[in-house]
Every structure is written in structure tokens, then in C-alpha cells.
Structure 1
């Protein structure tokens, strides 16, 4: 007989396969029980194998080829500007907009000169890492993360001119590496740092936008599902939200998204694909009441808003 016991009273793991008389997987392995199982934190799997009722003399025990324990992915990072504390949210639900778990990142508080400027996977492990900028001297650091677990801090080339600010991440040249998006708030220049892991390999100037313009750069993501990173802009006069459709680092056209709330209390905190439909969504937080929400995007552009959890105003989110 075979029994599978999931530790605790929680739900079955993802990819759960119940035992049947037929193969539970089409893998070349002739008699798999399960594979690629993802467990929620705190849960385990116990396999009990007993000889059959016919008391066969020959019985081959099953084998476990490999076990790898990985941290659950994080969707949103949070930084408390008053205490320096760090936290993370894991989301779930049909649209990926429901809070599944909020966890504390076990780190010493961060010096108040440092701000999180963006998040993205810089070492190819499928976990978001954090980009920090020192607002006093321009130093830049990347926290390599594995879920909510800090792994390593990497310093990269500093930018002493504080007029240059990081506004997002994305793959701008199709090499499967996460690049950094910059804007100079004095000259209106915009640029992309093409990266190889955590190493900048080339700076590329892209279409500029006057520093005195009513337009504010607020993020980067793939909003049209063509695997090119686009650039998100907010008009500070009429609250129109547009994105620059890009082909690599080349500007193609401006595309209207929707009108942002006119009370100016909502702030864009990041961009990510919450519902896994290949279109990045826009994450907002309210600077007055602490509400958070998402603008869900699809093939025809803006789809609908979703209100999520509320947070204390001292916390700032990053998608």
C-alpha cells in the first residue's frame, strides 16, 4: 500500500496527484508517484511503502531521485520608511490579487539614506531581487533574494549625479537579463542600463522627455504582451496614464491606458503580471488611507481595478 501524508491540516500541494491504478505522470519514469511538487511553508510529504498482500518475495522500493527545497516566490516587497523594517507579500487567487501570506524579512533595519528603487530577477533564479539607491551619495546595491530570504548584497557602479533616478526594471534587449531604467530629472534624458546579471555592460540613451514636462515616469513593464518592456508615464495635470510602446530601446508610439484617480492620493508602486496572462498589471497604493489595488491589464489594454489589502502609511510597496 502507498500512503501520502501531508504534514499539518493545510491544502494539498500544487501539482498534487492522487494515487490511481494508472500512471500519475507521463514522464518516462514508469511508475511515478508525483514530481515537481510545490509545498506551502511548514508542510511536508511522508511516503510509506509496504509489501503487498501476496507476500511477494521480490519487492523494489521506490526511489527519490532528487529533493530540492526552495523558498516560495514573493510578489510584493514592503519597506517601512520609519523603522527600516522589511516585509513581503505572497499573493494567490484566480487573479493573483488576494493576499496569501505576509512575512517579515529577517534583516537589520536599513539606513534611512537607502531607498528601494525597483525589483527584478538579476541572477536568473526566478526570484525577485531588490535594487537600492543611496539618496545621499548615489551608491547602488542589489539584494539578491530567494523568496523572502536575503542571500547577498552586491554593490554596482555608483551614480553620483542624484538627478539620475531609477524608475523600473525590464529586459530591454531580449537577452533574458533584467536591465535598469533611468531618468534624469534635470535634463529630461532617459536611459537604460543593459545588464549581465548584476553587472552593467552598456548605457543606452532612449527618447527624452523634457524635465519641465507634465509627464512623470512611473514604471516599466510589458503592457501589450509582445515581450518588449514598455515605459509607463503619468500626466500630472490631467491624470492620464500612457505607456511608451517600445521595441527594445527604440520608442514606437504612445498608448493611452486610463485616467488615474483625480484626487492625487493614489501612487503607482510597481508593475507585475498578477494574473499570469502575459500582460503586466499596475500596482497602486493610497497615500491617505493605506488601501492598495491593482489595475488589471489584458490584450485590449486596461481591463478593471481590483482593491486589495490596506497597509499602514509608513510602509511602501514594490512590485
Structure 2
């Protein structure tokens, strides 16, 4: 080990000698990254899920902050229970679930006799990470019931595998726990130490633990535990552990926790990059990192992303590569440190013309003009926030900024531009520090300590230490895939055929009465509806039982108005009383749920609650309104509504955003027919998304039309929750430039038709339908091609 340390020190010294003469003329860079991070267009709603119990630090050294609860990481258990685990770095592992059950203590390290302590520095020490073995719930397999934790322990609490002589402040410990009952809500079992490393300072210790989420049995990475270690602490890496290889500090470590042959605590994977390097710690997988507190994998292509907390200037995100050296303490981001050029520590400098050895440079970075410590993140591959798919989303955890960049195609050394993601709380856009901030002990500002985690379906959760809250992040905009009832079509003139209502970007409205693919020119024209965008379109339905569809609008001040229509003319309007003025309640479904001949509304709150509002003319039927008996779990999203049973009332079809499962709810007003509800056996492949729900075959029951992301179509004729004979591919265009704009019975034959529009040139095309087949009469529809006119 001594020979390797001498070699590493000699290399660093040689690098200094080479660059000193040129570097003496260098000046520190005052603003390393002058480009600021701008707010982007993406707005996410932060929806409360759970709140951790309040905890305190038994010992509070100087500068210890007073976080409500030091919640750090959330993970879904690898079973079918829907349970979510999260840790408080003060020593507690809690369980909740995707429905937000009150957190329960699963494991309290301070009660287990394992010498747990965060007293060295509570802001950065303590219970830092955990991971469930992928076989945790699979009885009979080696990883059954196994959980791994990373935490700080009292000095000299055991014999360290590395740096025993330096363990005078604390020790970093990785421990394996084996439960006797993986399905229990509390731990009962045994534990053992895997790895113990001495620490000479109170910070930059052990961090995240994780198993590769895409590795499968038989893969080289399956069941291997990755561990992040900081550079040992203090400032500027005074012992140069980042570039040293004799100890597993400033590194990502990779071990086999179940390989205990010969009495070893763990095994060394044969393909670890330093296995054959004399004097090197064979556990090291990558090095040259300052404080890699978080890392994650893109579940699409298995790339690893490492967030590394910077010293004085730069926060960075790197691609994880076996054998990579990320440069610390000679590099900070894409810049040189004072150590590298023989200058004052603190600022950064231009890099020398050559590197002393090949360094891996970040794919994204920001400087301290824009924020401070990076909180880690994930490449979003969920389905609830389409605008984020393929972006690496992460936090600047002090101020609580949510940041993102396009992860596809990133290049080390060519940092990707970063945008800020905005947040809304109860429908109002706010800064996270104003919602969850608490006093910062380093200055007179407030801090948040915000971190992101994902569940098994790739959906995002925001954890904030300032208030101890866990919030789901979902799109703040209505997802058009789930708003199928709100297309701008309806029978406004009571002729038995659907008409089209468009709105211009300047707020004007235009009415197109249809006869198949042709418009009735004499009757088309401007519709006298409000031009002001303070009035937003909500839905089209027959709210007054006169046989003609009406238009429902909502004002930014919370008022609602319905406009009774006769063709393009508004025959009456009124403010609708009894609907919520709270903007967080959004209309999610429309249909005649009680069979009285008028359309009703189903609204949903960001916390998952549903409420039923039957409408009669200008008011809500108060006696019949109330909470709807539908699931609060936000992973269940509306797929559409329709009369699937042919009984004269609309039913609700939900789909799970993670598993792709479907569930059918026959409605009687706000109540669900419990005997008839159940899962619907439609494809779970999330590449297939709902295009439309309507009666395409004139049998009195609603059908489901899906479209694949490659442009294919598939038709399911329905009878209640089950499909009937006649399903199959629909012969509609696969060209993705053609998007479904509207559905309706445009030719009056009693069957719903599909109206397409090209998203590049504005052309329209009508497909009259008979089940899954397009019939004669298809062709170009004579509607404006001006893309300034769109569906309202």
C-alpha cells in the first residue's frame, strides 16, 4: 500500500512541476460558468404524500442545522406490496406506501446496538443510505430478506478494513440485515458488518448504496452492491484520497455482498478494474470524486449518472464508467483546482494543456452563482410527466431548485445546458424555499435540503428536510392522454351529427357543422364565445337536456360558466353555482354517470381525491354531489369514460401509470357498482396509449381505440370490463405526423368516426369507422389548415 501511495503522490507532484511555470501566470476564474440557469417551460405539481415524524440531533456541534427530519432517500421495496421505505439520517428507516400511509418505524439503528452515531457532524453524518437486495422478497434465493445500510459509527467501534489508524472521529460502516419476515412492517432478524472504513473528519463519509436496477439474473452486474464514499472529509482533500487508490475513499465501490467464501465478509467482482493492480483497493470501481453522495442508473439504456458535490465553485454530474478517474483533487468540473496548477486553493483555473492522466469530465455542471450542493437525481422514464421523459432531473438541495437537462446523447467534457423546472403547490407556482425552507446556520438565508427519488415505476418523489415532507411530482398540466372527453366536438345544432369547435391563438372561436368530411358552409362561422383567455375551455356536453351540446368554461378567478349553444350561436349563458373555485380541483371526466340525460363532471384533486358534480342547467344538483368512490392512488389515472355496459350510464376506465394495468368502474352517480367493477384484460404494454373511447361499431357500448408509439392502432370492442369478438388492428394511418384531433359521429350513421390532423401542415382527414375498420367516405376534411386554429 505504501508503494502505491508514493506512486500516486509522485504523479501528482510531477504534474505540478510540469504546469507550474505556465500556471504562475494564470489568474483565478472569477465566474467559471457565466451562463445562468433559466427557468424552463416545465411546471410540476408537488403533491403531498407523507410526512416523517419530527426528530432531533442528540449532539449539536457548531453549524448544525435544525432540520425537521433529515430524510434522504426513498425506495420502493422489491415486492408487490407498494411499500416505500425512506431514511432519516438521524438513524431511522421508515415505511409508508404509494397511498401515503402514515410512516412506521421499520428499523432504528440507535436501538440495535450497532454503535450508530451522527455526532461527528449531523448535517453530513449519520444513516446515509440503504438498499434492498433484488431478491429481498424471493424466498429460497440467497438475497431473500436482505437489506443493506450505510451509516456513521462511533470511532473505534470495530476494527476498520481500511484506515484503522485514522478512525479517530468516526467510522463509515456498511451493514447487512437479514429479516425473518420480508412482508412485515417492522424489522426482526440479524445483522453483520460488511465493510468498515476509518474517518479522520466528520464529513465526506459513506453515502448512497444501490443495486443496478436493470441487471437481471445471469448478468455480470446482478446482485452487486455499489457504494459511494467521499474523500474522507475536511476541505480540499488534504490527504489526497481522491487520487490515491490504496483506500476506497473519493470513489464508487463495487462488491458482492453474498460472496462470503472462506469467511470473507464480501466478495470482489472479478471484473472490477483494479483487481490486478498491486496495492490498490480492489473494491474501487471508479475514483477521483469529492463527495458522490448520490448516483443512479437510466433504466432505458443502463447508463450510470453520478452527482458529485463540489468544493468552492462547481457542482457536477458524471457518467459512471468502470475504471474512470474524475480528477478530484486536481479537477473540479471541467476546470483545474489550485492543487493542479500550484496556486491558491478555493478558486478554479483554466485546465493545463494536457492532463497528467486521462480524466473523465462531467456531462453537466453549474457554478455557485446558480446554487450550492447538488442533491442527485434520476433520468426520468416514468409516464406521468411526458415533458420530462429522457431528462436527468436533479436538485440543488440548499435553495431547493429542481434542475434538468436532456440526458440522451450527453458527452463527457461538453456540459449540457441546464434548465430549471418550476413547481406548483395547490395550483400556485412557488419557490420551494418559500414552502419548505428553514434557517441556514451558515448564513442569514434559508435552506431546503431537497432530494429526489423514484419508485419502481420511475415516478418522482421530492424529499425536503426542512419540513420533513415527501411529495409526489406530477405534471401540473392536464395530460391530453387522459382528457379524452374534452375534444372540441359536439352536436351543437341537434342534427344527429357531430360538429367541430376550434379556437384561435388570439382567443377567437369558429364553428364547423359537419356532414361527414364536409363542412356545411352556410352554417359555419364565428362562435360568439368569450375571447379572453381568462376564460379557459373545460368541456363540451349537454348540461341542460335540450339535445344540443353546450360549452363549459372556467375563469382564472375560479368562476364557472356554461354556454347553451344553437349551432354557432350562444343562446344563453350563466355562472354555474356549486362547482369548486379552488384551482387545484380539475375536471378529469365528463359523462352521464347517473342516467338522467345530462352530462356530469368528475373532478380530481392533486392529492388523488375524486368528487362528483351532476349538472342541471346552470347549477350543481347539490343533493347528489359528493366524493366519488374511486381510488386516490395517483398512479391510477383516467384512461377515459364511456357506456361500456350499454346500460345508459357512463363508466370510468382507469389505467396504472407504472404497471399498465386497467380497472373498470361502472358508475351510478358517484357510487361504484362493487359487484361489476374489476380489472380489464387490455394490453399492459405502456407503448400502447388510449387514443379514443367511443362507440365505433354502433352496438350501444363504448369501445377502446389504442395507438402505439410507432403509429399502429388497435381496437377493443367492450362489454363491461371485458372485450368481445372483433378486436384487432385498425386500418388507420401509421404516419405519426397525423394525430387524432377529434372523434364524433360526423356522418350521422350512429357510429363514431375519427378526425385526424397533421401536426406539420394543419391538414385534416376523416375516417368513418365501423368497428376497427375505416369505411368508404374517408378523405380530406375541408377545415382550416391554419395551425393558429386548434382544438380549444
TM range (shorter): 0.5 to 0.7
How far apart are the structure 2 equivalents of 1:84 and 1:277? 38
Q: 1:227 to 1:210 in 2, by over 3 A?
A: same
From 192, 200, 214, the counterpart of 2:620: 200
Is the contact made by 1:296 and 1:306 (CA closer than 8 Å) also made in structure 2?
Answer: no
Matching of residue 227 in structure 1 with residue 648 in structure 2: yes
Is the contact made by 2:494 and 2:547 (CA closer than 8 Å) also made in structure 1?
Answer: no
Q: 1:142 to 1:294 in 2, by over 3 A?
A: farther
Query: What residue number does 1:139 align with?
Result: 559
How far apart are the structure 2 equivalents of 1:199 and 1:111? 23
Is the contact made by 1:223 and 1:230 (CA closer than 8 Å) also made in structure 2?
Answer: yes
Q: 1:279 to 1:235 in 2, by over 3 A?
A: same
Query: What residue number does 1:24 align with?
Result: none
How far apart are the structure 2 equivalents of 1:174 and 1:122? 13
Q: Secondary structure at the match of 1:192?
A: strand
Q: 1:159 to 1:238 in 2, by over 3 A?
A: same
Q: 1:236 to 1:244 in 2, by over 3 A?
A: same
Matching of residue 301 in structure 1 with residue 710 in structure 2: no
Q: 1:284 to 1:149 in 2, by over 3 A?
A: farther
Q: How far does the alpha carbon of each residue in 1:228-249 deviate from its partner, in whole angstroms, 9 at most, with x for none?
A: 2211323223444443122343
Matching of residue 72 in structure 1 with residue 490 in structure 2: no
Query: What residue number does 1:111 align with?
Result: 532
Is the contact made by 1:117 and 1:132 (CA closer than 8 Å) also made in structure 2?
Answer: yes
Unaligned 5+ runs, structure 1 = 1-69, 93-97
Q: 1:310 to 1:228 in 2, by over 3 A?
A: closer
Q: 1:274 to 1:105 in 2, by over 3 A?
A: farther
How far apart are the structure 2 equivalents of 1:132 and 1:257? 36
Query: What residue number does 1:181 align with?
Result: 602
Matching of residue 128 in structure 1 with residue 552 in structure 2: no
Q: 1:108 to 1:128 in 2, by over 3 A?
A: closer
Q: Secondary structure at the match of 1:145?
A: strand
From 743, 747, 756, the counterpart of 1:310: 756
CA shift, 1:282, in A, is: 5.4
How far apart are the structure 1 equivalents of 2:731 and 2:548? 24
From 91, 97, 101, the counterpart of 2:519: 101
TM (normalized to structure 1)?
0.59
Aligned length in residues: 237
CA shift, 1:121, in A, is: 1.0
How far apart are the structure 1 equivalents of 2:575 and 2:650? 25
Determine which structure has greater relative contact order: mean sequence separation of CA pairs < 8 Å that are 6+ residues apart, divided by chain length: 1
Q: How far does the alpha carbon of each residue in 1:242-273 deviate from its partner, in whole angstroms, 9 at most, with x for none?
A: 43122343223134263488458x675x7544
Q: Which has the higher helix share?
A: 2
Is the contact made by 1:220 and 1:271 (CA closer than 8 Å) also made in structure 2?
Answer: yes
CA shift, 1:76, in A, is: 5.3
How far apart are the structure 2 equivalents of 1:239 and 1:246? 22
Is the contact made by 1:145 and 1:152 (CA closer than 8 Å) also made in structure 2?
Answer: yes
Q: Could you say what the CA RMSD is over the residues aligned between the two structures, in angstroms?
A: 3.9
CA shift, 1:146, in A, is: 2.2
Is the contact made by 2:660 and 2:683 (CA closer than 8 Å) also made in structure 1?
Answer: yes
| Aligned counterparts, 1:249-260, within 5 A | 249-251=670-672, 252=674, 253-256=677-680, 258-259=682-683
How far apart are the structure 1 equivalents of 2:531 and 2:714? 28
Is the contact made by 1:74 and 1:128 (CA closer than 8 Å) also made in structure 2?
Answer: no
Q: 1:275 to 1:150 in 2, by over 3 A?
A: farther
Is the contact made by 1:170 and 1:179 (CA closer than 8 Å) also made in structure 2?
Answer: yes
How far apart are the structure 1 equivalents of 2:593 and 2:632? 22
Query: What residue number does 1:82 align with?
Result: 505
Q: 1:278 to 1:71 in 2, by over 3 A?
A: closer
Unaligned 5+ runs, structure 2 = 1-492, 733-753, 760-786
TM (normalized to structure 2)?
0.26
Q: Which has the larger radius of gyration?
A: 2
How far apart are the structure 2 equivalents of 1:259 and 1:229? 22
How far apart are the structure 1 equivalents of 2:598 and 2:755? 32
